[in-house]
Amino acid sequence: MIYKFKSKVTGDLIMLEPDAKRLLRIMDKTDQAKGILLAAQISDAMAAIEKAIALEETEGIQDPKQVSLRQRSMPMLKMLKQCHDQSEDVVWGV
């Protein structure tokens, strides 16, 4: 399954299911197939992702072939930053 994240101020962000679900769980959205991240919730979501990145980097990557969370989450963080700056929501699965 493919997840497509949309906002009014950015292009669509398309992610494969495992990566999207991981980020949704980190943002406390429990890997919902459809949802919305309100503009007021975006700063908390960005902080949660940054915290998870820091945790992964202190623990180290277990599999050298695995792409790091920092790399996987960069497009999402960019989208969230733009939406936060312009007070816009992010939706997916709609």
For residue range 18-76, list pLDDT tens digits in order: 999 999 999 999 867 899 999 999 999 999 999 999 999 888 766 777 888 999 999 99
pLDDT at 65: 77
Q: Tell me, what's the pLDDT at 94?
A: 75
Q: Which residue is it, tokens 């007070």?
A: 87
Locate tokens 């997916």: which residue?
92
Q: How many domains does the chain have?
A: 1
Q: What does pTM read for this prediction?
A: 0.89
Dist CA 59 CA 13 (whole Å): 28
DSSP string, 58-84: HH--S-TTSPPHHHHHHHHHHHHHHHH
* pLDDT at site 6: 97
Q: How many residues would you count in the chain?
A: 94
Which residues lie closer than 8 Å to 1 by C-beta, 6 or more apart? 17, 33
> What is the enclosing helix (H) or strand (E) of 36?
strand 35-37
Could you list the residue range(s) of the whole structural domain that residue 41 is in? 2-92
